[in-house]
Structure 1
Amino acid sequence: MFAKLGILLALASDGTVGSCLAADEAPTPRPKYERAVLIRFEGTITPLLEQFLYRKLAAAEADQADLVIVEIDSPGGLVDSSFNVAHRLRDLDWAATVAFVPREALSGAAIVALGCEQIIMAPTAVLGDAGPIFLGEDSLFRHAPEKLRSDLARKIRDLAERRRRPPALAEAMVDMNLTVYEVKNRQTGARAFLSEHEIKSSPHPDQWEKGPLVLESREGSFLEVNGQRAVELTLAEGQAADREELQKLLGLTGAPQVLEPGGVDTAVDILNSAWITGLLFVVGLVALYVEFSTPGIGLGGLVSLLCFALFFWSRFLGGTAEVLEVVLFLSGVAFLAVELFVLPGFGVAGIGGLLLIVISVLMACQTFLIPETKYEWEVFGKSLMMISCSALAFLAVAASFGRHFGSLPLFNRLVLQPAGAERTARAAGGDGGDKPAPILAPANPFGVDVGDWGLAVSPLRPAGRARFGDRYLDVLTDGDFVERGRQVRIIEIQGSRIVVRDVEEA
């Protein structure tokens, strides 16, 4: 019996019987991942790119993906955005994460890759060189001060330790003076990569046998490795030249679904450009001016609301605006409305409203409150220049609209013509005859008519209030500023608009 059993085991070891049993009894292996998605992470890392990745991660989660492949091709970017993305990938608990680097993941992009569970690189792709730099006063890039480098070193070590990668090699990406050695534990034979400081500070320094220096970490250079070398140093888990090899390496039964940029992503990119932002400001401010000048129309308010809603919506999705900016902006508009209609005279409310609007827009265009570095000052200067140019364009357009709004072919249809328009023209002397105009009852609900005199009870800029007899009415000048207490004369009535002019000028 034992002899027969021995023969059976021998046959099984040769594969004759074993293969038959396996064919009959072994279940078909299930794929490791059932639904994989791929997100392209390309270009300079900014809050805009950061928010794009977050939107795609949300879409992948909603699609019940169990594997997220982040295809990284980036030279780096902002430090805060890079670490934010890395931490989001590190804390992802509903899917496995893989960073695929077909070409380069340098600087901040290397930090993003370290946040993933696996790093797969093309053999010639490069990873590392995450040394922080900033733009100096001479417009040349400089290495960041030691205080900032120390903080980055701690953060990148934490990322590497979380993913069981050599923290010393990760730190060497941001510290050009750190040298790393390949070491071997004399008792266990375990291989590791440690810096000189790590060896000396370990509980048993004598247990480590120092080997050769990791050449890429030599003093004076930030660690940067290609795909093959990254695998040797255990910074990467594998190599794949393209997506097909990546698919085979991960054991996927089909190509991963690529989450392409959608209409929202395209709209956000366009609306975050400086030219489009400036155009939104000009159109929104002009529409707001028209609404304040002719409050009975309503179209100006709707257009203004749409423009500023698009601005803040794009900045929300772009990662530079939050609720505070919207609150400040709405407060500024409310202050201006109070200044125009409740407390005549340009004072604290008007100035405060303008400041709140400018501050809210500046804050919505940048990720910092007060600029500190040269780069932040440049961003602040560009935002301020964009707001200034938009304000100048608004003033020019508003002045033109103030004089010609009612006569423009497109906009005169937005204003209801009074029933006594023909009589209005005669009363204004438009018929050119010597016969005096007949005296008729006013053909509008205001109880006044063209040619009536009144007194400005508030500054007209150009909107304000004037008294005609015992009636207090909202009026609008034809573009000129009229001080409070000046006598004015009605020169035009169109729908809800009463246009006046200073008596001396008239």
Structure 2
Amino acid sequence: MFQQHSRRMRTDGNRTLPRWRSFLLGWVAFCLACPLTESPTLGQDVQRGVLVQVALPIDDATQRQVESTINTIRSTATAEAGRQKLVLQFGKQGDQATGGETAFERGLQLARFLTSENATDVKTIAYVAGSVQGHAVLPVLACDQIVVAPGASLGDAGIDQASVDPVVMLAYESIAQRRRTIPIGAVRAMLDADLELVRISQVDGGDLFLSGPELAELRDQGKVWKEEQLAAPGELANFVGSQMRTYRWATHEVRDVDELATALGLSRISDSQSPNLGEVNAVLAEISGPINRRRGRRVRNNLSDAIQRHDLNLVVSHVNSAGGDLNESLELASYFANLPAQGIRTAALVDPQAVGDAALVALAAQQVYMSPEANLGGPGAASFSAAALDDLSEAIDQIARSTGRSPALLRGLLDRELEVFEYLDARSGRVAYFSSDEHAARDDAARWARQGAVALADGISAEQALQLGLITGIESDLKQVCRKVGLKDLPQRLDERWIVNFVESLGRQVWLPRMLLFIGFFMLSVEIGAPGIGFPGFISMVSLMLFFWIQAAGGTAEWLEIFLFVGGVLCLLAEVLLFPGFGIFGIGGLVMLVASLVLVSQTFVLPSNAYQYNQLTGNLIGVLVAIGGMLGGGLALRWMLPQLPFFRHLMMVEDEEEKQIRAENEAIVHWDHLQGQRGIATTPLVPSGKARFGEELIAVVSDGPMIDPQRPVIVKQVYGNRVVVEELIDDDEPE
């Protein structure tokens, strides 16, 4: 079995071919090879490969990335294209990352996937570009082919364990036997320091790499002609790139990806983070405004439906939110984090903000970009305690690990009280981020030296997020992000009713709801000042309906706010029409009105952080502007509207005769003679207006509901020049 790995092919020097036969065979070989070369005129398809950067140490995000890429390649492959070549690059030249601390279960799970039926349609090539140690060796052994860089090394698989577990050894032997790229004896010596590894040249030819009982057995049989010790007892076997190439474990030794493409006969090797892996079926999910149960459920349902109907393999999300509901954001983030397992790549753009719990949704994507002025994390629309975060810490950590991000950094963006520090591994130079409790709970805590605290409480900028490794890059707009992920243009938006998309886009314009509120109150003031006209009242009703509709689409308008608004308006009308001068309905209605307008614009009741205080201030300013609209409406009725031709008929404009009559009447202090007199209302009494008693046109006040023009009235009381009237009901009109 071992001879199959190491026996060299030999040629018989005694047998030669005539020169003419050699020439003929060479010509035939050339003719057969010509159709296989690339020729644009012949229309042959060029063969390309896909490169996946395998971050070390290997974590859940790395596993998901590899599986997602393979699933994507399988879904887009054609029978004519054959097996697509997938290059897994382990480490980088000069990089100090080694792959140590890779959990055995994680390395084994990825190795099993690479050797399973799911990967049979893809030829996997392990490109060992840096130093690969620990259980990161397992996925290298699971690849179909190994290629090395000049300064690379592979080995020391047991560096993170004090003793060898038989189950671990059995797993290594099983993976090595499936691929047979590296002899099992060498693999055992990488894992168990007690084993001696020897390269043996046999008497009958061929080399073997043996360790343990097989080495002792071969020595006893006297079949050893020459020995070369590669790893002494007490040290783990580790092989540099030149050794692996000499032993023919590695098929090529290349300096970079371009040389690798040439060695593999590929026209190009594209990075899996940016290329078009065939036909891309993408969709754009807009996540803007407050995040609540209704919005989160709608996004998940629409995405699931689009995945089933359109066979999506890429989801791009545009996040502009301050959060609103931690549980709903966590559920939505978990949904996005699980998409790569279905072969669906995910990317996100944060513009201009993903603060509060909305940071969870943004960072659940594989590739995250931020606009230059964007903010990530920190205080948001929802406030949550440290206890609430502790209850959900396991789910938050799972989202962080599934995307290859630091769990401590992600929790620090949500919890203002959590202190996160930067730690440096003196052995490998690796930088990581932990809280004090996380660092103390680690078995290798002594290896990590604390460097300094990371400021996360108030959120971070795009540059800070990039330095911390939380985002992929900084891009100015969504089109640039789409090009980064292999799209030529913006993808189609997530299927929703066009009216919902339109209203939500209007809701993102901060000025529009406030403008609608101002117009609504302005026109309401005009209608109250000149009732019965109808047009200002209709405009007011439409403006207020649009205001509440936009807020309801944004998830902030609930039944409480609507009831408060309607109740406040009814109380103010009652104060004006039914109980003038009493005050309780007016004050209560005004309080209800202001409370409804403030609450309908935010997701919280009482502010508890800087973001909420700023939002409350803005909402109060908007309400004051709306109330100013009512005052402006009154002023417009009094001074401006009478001067405008189109609006002149809305006001009760006096002619010269009426002005003279009013001046004469106002000179008379007492109207006692009008007590009990009947007359006709010449203007609407709301409650003040004018009525005619015989030849006299008198300014009167209604003692009750509004009285329409041309209705009979009777003088109820006279207080000097104040005449109080009421409407005559079921009585003959005076002549």
**Category of TM-score, reference length = shorter chain:** 0.5 to 0.7
Give the aligned residue type for 2:534: G
Q: Greater relative contact order: 1 or 2 (C-alpha under 8 angstroms, separation 6 or more)? A: 1
1:69 corresponds, among 304, 315, 318, to 315
Give the alignment's TM-score, normalised by structure 1.
0.56
Distance 1:257 1:162, change over 3 A: same
The answer (yes or no) to whether the contact 1:172–1:179 under 8 Å persists in 2 is no
The number of residue pairs the alignment matches comes to 399
Equivalent residue runs for 1:99-138 within 5 Å: 99-100=347-348, 110-116=359-365, 118-119=366-367, 130=377, 132=378
Q: Secondary structure at the match of 1:452?
A: strand
Q: Secondary structure at the match of 2:696?
A: coil
CA distance in 2, matches of 1:485, 1:291: 28
Matched, 1:88 2:328: no
Equivalent residue runs for 1:23-422 within 5 Å: 35-39=281-285, 47=290, 63=306, 64=309, 66-67=312-313, 69-71=315-317, 78=322, 80=324, 84-91=328-335, 96=344, 98-100=346-348, 110-116=359-365, 118-119=366-367, 130=377, 132=378, 148=385, 151-152=388-389, 155=392, 157-162=394-399, 164-165=401-402, 169-173=406-410, 174=412, 175-177=418-420, 197=437, 212-213=447-448, 218-221=451-454, 243-244=482-483, 246-247=485-486, 257-259=491-493, 263-270=502-509, 272-273=510-511, 276-402=512-638, 405=641, 408-413=644-649
Q: CA deviation at 1:170?
A: 1.1
CA distance in 1, matches of 2:468, 2:522: 60
CA distance in 2, matches of 1:464, 1:99: 62
Give the aligned residue type for 1:471: V
Q: CA deviation at 1:357?
A: 0.8
CA distance in 2, matches of 1:50, 1:179: 36
Structure 2 partner of 1:9: none
Distance 1:483 1:347, change over 3 A: farther
Q: CA deviation at 1:445?
A: 11
C-alpha distance after superposition, 1:338-392 (max 9, x if no partner): 2222333342222211111111111123332123334433433333233334434
Give the aligned residue type for 2:554: G
CA distance in 1, matches of 2:305, 2:573: 44
CA distance in 1, matches of 2:699, 2:464: 82
Q: CA deviation at 1:279?
A: 3.8
RMSD of the TM alignment (CA)? 6.0
Q: CA deviation at 1:457?
A: 4.1
CA distance in 2, matches of 1:121, 1:468: 70
Distance 1:310 1:61, change over 3 A: farther
Distance 1:448 1:56, change over 3 A: farther
CA distance in 1, matches of 2:81, 2:404: 45
CA distance in 1, matches of 2:703, 2:720: 5
Gap regions ≥5 residues in structure 2:
1-77, 85-120, 123-276, 413-417, 427-431, 457-462, 662-678, 685-690, 726-735
CA distance in 1, matches of 2:318, 2:711: 74
Q: Secondary structure at the match of 1:315?
A: helix
The answer (yes or no) to whether the contact 2:285–2:315 under 8 Å persists in 1 is yes
CA distance in 1, matches of 2:502, 2:284: 18
Q: CA deviation at 1:69?
A: 2.5
Give the aligned residue type for 1:299: F
Distance 1:453 1:352, change over 3 A: same
CA distance in 2, matches of 1:128, 1:401: 46
Give the aligned residue type for 2:503: V
Q: CA deviation at 1:302?
A: 0.8
CA distance in 1, matches of 2:706, 2:445: 84
Q: CA deviation at 1:52?
A: 9.0
CA distance in 2, matches of 1:370, 1:244: 43
C-alpha distance after superposition, 1:273-303 (max 9, x if no partner): 2xx5444333322322232333322222211
Report which stretch shifted further, 341-350 or 148-157: 148-157
Structure 2 partner of 1:452: 697
CA distance in 2, matches of 1:290, 1:128: 43
CA distance in 2, matches of 1:58, 1:156: 26
CA distance in 2, matches of 1:110, 1:429: 71
CA distance in 1, matches of 2:636, 2:375: 56
Q: Secondary structure at the match of 1:321?
A: coil
The answer (yes or no) to whether the contact 2:369–2:481 under 8 Å persists in 1 is no
The answer (yes or no) to whether the contact 1:168–1:180 under 8 Å persists in 2 is no
Q: Secondary structure at the match of 2:283?
A: strand
Gap regions ≥5 residues in structure 1:
1-21, 135-144, 184-191, 431-440, 474-481, 490-506
Q: CA deviation at 1:88?
A: 1.8
The answer (yes or no) to whether the contact 2:420–2:436 under 8 Å persists in 1 is no
CA distance in 2, matches of 1:200, 1:298: 73
CA distance in 2, matches of 1:148, 1:267: 33
